[in-house]
Structure 1
Amino acid sequence: MLEHLKGNGQEFINEVATIGRIHHFHIVRLLGFCSEGTRRALVYEFMPNGSLEKFIFSKTNSSSHRQLSWEKLKKIAFGVARGVEYLHQGCNQRILHFDIKPHNILLDHNFQPKISDFGLAKLCSKDISIVSLTAARGTAGYIAPELFSRNFGEVSYKSDVYSYGMMLLEMVGCRKNKDPAVEIQSQIYFPEWIYNRMRQGQELCLEFEEDGDEGIARKLAIVALWCIQWNPTERPSMPIVLQMLEADLQSLEIPPMPFVSSDVETGAIN
C-alpha cells in the first residue's frame, strides 16, 4: 500500500507502466496495481522467504550464528548486483532505485534475491548521468553522501552503488553497520572496523564453517568498501562490481579509506 502520495496520480501511473514492463529474474514481478482515489497499491509476486533483513538482523542471529551460509550470501550478492545492473543498463530508460537495502531484497523458495519496492525510484535517460533531485531520498544508513550535499559530488546511478555496498557490509557483518549496542567501541561502526582489519591483514573474526568461506567474506567486504567510497567517481559501476565479484580474491585491491575516520580529532563519524 502506498501512502502520502502527492499530485493527481499521473506519476504513479507512469511509474507502474514503466516498472510493469521490467522483466528480469532478480527483480520482483509486478502483477497488478490499484489506483482508486487516494488509495494506491502495487501487487507483487509472493516471495515465501520474505526479506533478506530477517535473516541477517534476527535477534538470534550474529556473526557466530548465521542463518544463511556464506555460499548463499555470495549468490544473493551476485543476484542483487545483476538486478541493479539491469535497472541501470538493461532498460530503455535508466531506473535509479534509491532504496537498495536488505528490507527491499525479497527471497524466493530457493533464496534467489529479487529487488522490490520502487516507491522512490526515478526514471532518467541513459544519456544523462547527473540526476536532479529536490531532496534526499532513501533510508538512513544507505543514502549516499551526495544526496545530502553536492559537495561530495553529483547524484547519479552511483548513488545506488553506495547503497548496495552498505547492504553488502551488513550481509558480511550480520548486523547493522552502525550499532551503538556493540560493547567494543571500535566495532560500533562496522565499515570502519572491517576496513581497518583488512588493511592491517588481520583475521575478520567472523564465523566460517567451510573451506573458502573466509575468501567469500573478504571478497564481499572489498567490493563493498569500493562501493561506499564517498566520492561517487571512485565507486565502480555495477558491471564492474560484477566483474569484481567474479574475479579471484588475489586480484582485488583494498580501496582507499572510504569515509572520514572516527579517529579524527572531532571523534565523530561523518
Structure 2
Amino acid sequence: MTDKKTPSPARPRQGQSGYKGRKGPTKPATRRPGLPPEGPIFLYGLHTVEAAFANKDRKRRKLFATENALRRLEERGVRIDVPVETLMPRALDKMVTRDAVHQGMILEADPLPAYGPEHLRGARLVLALDQVTDPHNVGAILRSAVALDADAVVTTERHAPEEGPVLAKSASGALDMIKHVRVKNMARFVTEMRENGFGAIALDSDGPADIEDTAFADKTVLVLGSEGKGVRQGVREACSALARLDMPGAIRSLNVSNAAVLALYVARRKMGL
C-alpha cells in the first residue's frame, strides 16, 4: 500500500446547548475535540460498509477492497464515491485486528458528527444507556434499536465505548442507521427530556412493577444501566418511574443487550407504535 493517509482536518469546538428551547437547524455539529476517536477510523464488513456509504452524515475517505468485494458492493447498488485501492485479502488482514472479519472490504472514514439532545425533535422512543461499556453489547443494542424502530440511542461521553471498528462491526450497519447521541451527564439529559414532555422509565430489578404493568407516556426514554451496577442512583432519581423485567425461568436476569430488546418491544406495544 503506497497511498499516504489524508490528515484529519482540524475540528472547531462544539457549542454547548440543551434540548429545551433549542431552535434553528438540526444539522449535527462537528465532534468536540477530545471526544474519541479524533482521527479517521476503519470500518469493515459488508453491512457496516454498505450502511456507511448510505449515510449522508458519514464523511468517507478511501475504500480498500478485494475485487470480489467490489463486485458484491456493486451488486447491492452501493455507490462508491471515494478512491479505491484494490488489495489481496492478506493485505487487508494486516490493516485490522487478527479476529476481525472484514469480508474483503475496509472503509477509511471520519467518525460521525456529534449528535446532541437537540437532534431528538420529533422523537417518541429513545433508549438511554447509563455507562454500558462493552462495545459488543452497545453494538447489539444499536442493531436492536434499529430493528424495533427506536429514534435514538443515547450514551455518556465517558464510560461508554468509543465509535470504532468493534462497535461498528457489532452493530452490523446500525451505527449509520440511527442517531447515536453522546451526553456529558445522563441525569441531566433525562431531566431535560422530562421537561420536554417525555416520560423516563429506568429498568431496575427492584422496580415496584413489571414493565408490562408500568404506564408509558406518549414519548418515552427507556434507561438501562450496566450489568451488575445497573442504573446509577442519580439517574434513577431523575426518571419518572422504575420498572423491572420479571423472568419466569431459573435465570432471573438478562444480558443488557437482551434486556434492551425486550424493553423496546414492550414499550412499542404499550405506546401503540
Same fold (TM over 0.5): no
Higher helix share: 1
* Between structures 1 and 2, the one with greater strand share: 2
**TM-score between the two structures when normalised by the length of structure 2:** 0.26
The answer to which structure, 1 or 2, has the higher relative contact order (CA under 8 A, 6+ apart) is 2
The TM-score, its normalising length taken from structure 1, stands at 0.26
